[in-house]
Every structure is written in structure tokens, then in C-alpha cells.
Structure 1
């Protein structure tokens, strides 16, 4: 690293810019879209696989009551299913339905489209687009080292 570059300053600049970018893309409207708590719960459930409501609440660091309300809304829309735990019939596990996966895909696609529109708006030169492509790979590598 160059003597002129302070790792602390680079870190602060990266985190600030990524925070702004993420805040903006999180608010992309999608017809029949998910609220932030619904998207968080559904995404975590998709990643972790079948689990209980209380385990899911612990994973996303919210109260069991708040998770219960969120899951109730997701179930009423057919995005989450409840089934008896095959290992312990007294417990109930939650799974993402095909409709839930599609809702997540729609939200992700809307975000990708928003960023793609910004990239093709003329605000970036071809050289800058190449730099952004390279930066994406570097950011992924950075994430793996944290």
C-alpha cells in the first residue's frame, strides 16, 4: 500500500460509500414488495434452511415477539410455511415457499436493475465501469478477510 494511503481513511471511506449505496438500493419499491423486517427474515430463512421462529429471531437479533409478527405477515401472504419438526413433533419449523423465493428474487432483480440503470446513465465512462467491475471483486475479497 502506498505511503500516502491511510488504511483507516480508506476503510472509513469504503464503509461510508457502501452504506449510502446499500441504503438507497434497500428502498427500491417492488409491487407487493417486502418490508425490511420481512426481507431480512425471509433472506435469513432462505440461507439457513428450515428453522424455528425463536432460532430465526436470535439469528437476526430481534425479539421473538417481533419475529412472530413478521412471520405471521409472511405466512398470510404464502411466503413462509410451517411444518412439524421431523425430529421433534412438538416443535414447528419454518421454510421459505416458492412464492417467498420469488419475492426475494423480484426484490433482488429490482435492485440489480436500479444499479444497472445508474451505471448506463452516462454518469460513468467506460474506464470507470471497468474500475467498478474490478472494485466488486476486490470488495468480495475484502469481505472474505473480515
Structure 2
């Protein structure tokens, strides 16, 4: 196996390049004024469905108070709503509203447009675009196996 295919070398190269990409994409001005904690909470609620504030806090490894403040802001803006837990009426679960889904969609669209602009023009050849397209599912599978 050549040095370029050594798993340690591949891992280091991937982490370095993906880190730069993620940092650059995250520099896109927040869509709808969402902060990183707000986007994180909204994304988790959208992806995993209704849950409690304390469960979200545990998942992102922050204090319940910090998550409560984040969710309070999101509720105040109409992006999250509280509902009684169908399994335990004493608890409250949070869900993303349609406005919250739209705020996330707008942010994702802004990021996708940024990447699209970087891929267009003379920066990448057709063959390179094909390589990037082929790498996307591999990167997803890599992420799922970590």
C-alpha cells in the first residue's frame, strides 16, 4: 500500500480538508439570524422529532439552562412550539414549526449556493466534479461509521 493510501494519512488529509470546508461554509452569515446553538437545536428537532429540552441538552452536551435559554428564544420567534407529551402529560415536548423548518431551509440553501458558486466556473474540471460527486456518498458513509 502506498503512503497516499495509508489509512492514517488518508484520515489526516480528510480531516484537514473537511475542517477547512466546514469552517468556510459556517462563515455564511446566519440565515434568519439563527445562532449556532439555535441552528443545532432546530436541526436536531427537525431530524429526530419532538423531544424534551433536557434530552436536547444531553445530546449536545450543554446545561439544561443553556438549552432552555436557546429554546426560549426559538419559541419567542415562533420557530419551536411546546406540546404536551402524548406518553406523559406532565412533560412537555418541543417541535419545530413550519417557520422553523423554513429558517433551516433558508440557511441550508445559502450554504448550498455558496458551494455551488465555488464549483462553477473554471475552478473545477468536469472530471473533478465527477470525483467530488462520487466522494459525497463515501464521506456520508464515513461519517455514519464514526
Q: Distance in 2 between matches of 1:134 and 1:112?
A: 17
SS at match of 2:129: helix
> Residues 59 and 6 of structure 1: is their aligned pair in 2 closer, same or farther, counting only changes over 3 Å?
same
1:30 touches 1:106 (CA, 8 Å); kept in 2? no
* Superposed CA offset, 1:87-122 (max 9, x none): 222211100000000111111111110000000032
**TM-score, normalising length: structure 2:** 0.92
CA shift, 1:27, in A, is 2.1
SS at match of 2:81: strand
1:25 touches 1:111 (CA, 8 Å); kept in 2? yes
Gaps of 5+ in 2: none
Q: CA RMSD in A?
A: 1.4
**TM-score, normalising length: structure 1:** 0.92
Tell me the number of residue pairs that the alignment of Structure 1 and Structure 2 aligns. Answer: 145
Gaps of 5+ in 1: none
More helix by share: 2
The equivalent residue for 1:74 is 74
